[in-house]
Amino acid sequence: MPEQRLPAPDKSDQGQSDQRLIDQQAETIHFTKNWQQQLADAFNTIEDLCRYLQLSLEDLPVSVAATRNFPLRVPLSFAACMEKGNPHDSLLRQVLPVNDELLAYPGFNNDPVGDLPAAAQTGVLHKYYGRALFINTGSCAINCRYCFRRNFPYSDLQLSKQKEDAAIQYIQENPDITEVILSGGDPLLLNDARLTRLLQKLDSIDHLKRIRIHSRLPIVLPARITDELMAALAQSTKQIVIVVHCNHANEINERVIAAFAALNNHRITLLNQSVLLKGVNDDAEVLCQLSERLFTHGILPYYLHLLDKATGTGHFEVPEAQALLIMKQVQATLPGYLVPKLVKEQAGAASKTYVSS
């Protein structure tokens, strides 16, 4: 059956002018809302996202079928960073469902990093010595099409309120664990009250030194970085590290910069991890611009991941040999502290694997 086509937006001059005015008025209202309301307003159809971006669906390889198992979800705060009228925008490519997601690529599967065998306790992934990861929620503010957990069985493994005590007990009974990583989904989608309770429970574990939070929200939904969240994090007696996920310098606008400033003002260690993605950031100049912009606003480049081979993501893969050539150019341009470590994750390995020639 041929791919379903959605109607194209009005391309007339008057139609575009009217749409721009509507968009400007909507954005003004939208950014006065709290983060939960902004999240509820996220784009969830290809048609609405493309209409906002003034793109014709006829010019894009969009796939409604690709959204059936992995829906489209894009906050306006992220879409507003995209270049309107540009079907090749690097941010758009990260979130637009396309026909290539339906193709089978050799070596790609539903659990590319071996999360499921590492599930030591419901909600706890204990893959590496000294660190344990909590799957706090299956929800994200944005559905990145390259996501390595896009096929993850969250209903079985996410840390529900009922399973939280068992997960805390597991950490208490394993004194070699000195760092807990809050992941998901996105752990900053937990409300402040629940996040505070979780941090308090972790605070009670003497051998725990650090709590690391992996979140894309400071980038895609910066309104989440509220005074209330800062107060919750400030109450913790453990060192807090937040690892944000930013792939391209264009993702960093004034609202994101304000979120970074709030986190930096509370002396939270900020790191960034990116994924090397074909058609997004597989270019040394783009990666250098990203590192420079991050560091300008207090974030240290940390990891650049080779793509995890999850089903539906093969069109994003950058070959390892090409990745090494790109990194040589980056190393020749930037000081060492701005060069992220090129890594890949291999199921069953004792740690991330550094990729080098």
Residue 223 in domain: yes
User: Among the listed ranges 68-77, 158-167, 275-284, 286-295, which one has the minimum average pLDDT value?
Assistant: 158-167
User: Among the listed ranges 3-12, 18-27, 88-97, 242-251, which one has the minimum average pLDDT value?
Assistant: 3-12
Give residue 349's pLDDT.
Answer: 83
Nearest to 178 by CA among 203, 210, 202, 204: 210
My answer on whether 136 and 66 are in the same domain is no
My answer on whether 229 and 158 are in the same domain is yes
My answer on whether 83 and 186 are in the same domain is no
Residue 8 in domain: no
Give residue 23's pLDDT.
Answer: 72
User: Among the listed ranges 43-57, 106-120, 134-148, 231-245, which one has the minimum average pLDDT value?
Assistant: 106-120
Residue 6 in domain: no
Place of tokens 């010019």: 59
Nearest to 7 by CA among 46, 53, 41: 46
Q: Which of 59, 76, 102 is the last residue of a domain?
A: 102
For the chain, what percent of residues have pLDDT higher than 70? 92
Please list, residue by residue across 132-145, b when 16 or more beta carbons sit within 10 angstroms of its beta carbon and e when fewer do: bbbbbbbbbbbbbb
What pLDDT, in 10s, does the model give residues 177-202?
Answer: 999 999 988 999 999 999 999 999 99
Residue 111 in domain: no
Q: Which of 58, 77, 102 is the last residue of a domain?
A: 102
pLDDT at 266 over 90: yes
Mean pLDDT of all residues in the chain? 91
Give residue 346's pLDDT.
Answer: 85
My answer on whether 95 and 141 are in the same domain is no
When pLDDT is cut at 50, 70 and 90, the band that residue 14 belongs to is low
- List the domain range (segments joined by +) for residue 165: 116-354
**Residue pair 121/158 in contact by the 8 Å Cβ criterion:** no
Nearest to 327 by CA among 303, 293, 292: 303
> DSSP string spanning 231-288?
HHHHT-SSEEEEEEE--SGGG--HHHHHHHHHHHHTT-EEEEEEE--TTTT-SHHHHH
Count the Cβ atoms, other than its own, within 10 Å of residue 196.
Answer: 18
Q: How many domains does the chain have?
A: 2
User: Among the listed ranges 14-18, 89-93, 133-137, which one has the minimum average pLDDT value?
Assistant: 14-18
Phi and psi at residue 92, to the nearest 5°: -60, -40
Mean pLDDT of 297-307: 98
User: Among the listed ranges 101-110, 281-290, 294-303, 341-350, which one has the minimum average pLDDT value?
Assistant: 341-350
Residue 63 in domain: yes
* 3-state secondary structure at position 218: helix
Query: In the structure encoding, which two tokens stand for residue 306, read together?
Result: 């080779």
When pLDDT is cut at 50, 70 and 90, the band that residue 355 belongs to is very high
pLDDT at 4 over 60: no
When pLDDT is cut at 50, 70 and 90, the band that residue 301 belongs to is very high
CATH number, domain of 276, equals 3.20.20.70
My answer on whether 231 and 266 are in the same domain is yes
Q: What is the pTM of this model?
A: 0.91
My answer on whether 191 and 336 are in the same domain is yes
Mean pLDDT of 242-250: 98
My answer on whether 140 and 271 are in the same domain is yes
Count the Cβ atoms, other than its own, within 10 Å of residue 18.
Answer: 12
Residue 48 in domain: yes
- Cα gap 310→275, rounded to integer Å: 13
- Cα gap 224→226, rounded to integer Å: 6
Give residue 210's pLDDT.
Answer: 98
Q: Which of 70, 102, 134 is the last residue of a domain?
A: 102
pLDDT at 218 over 70: yes
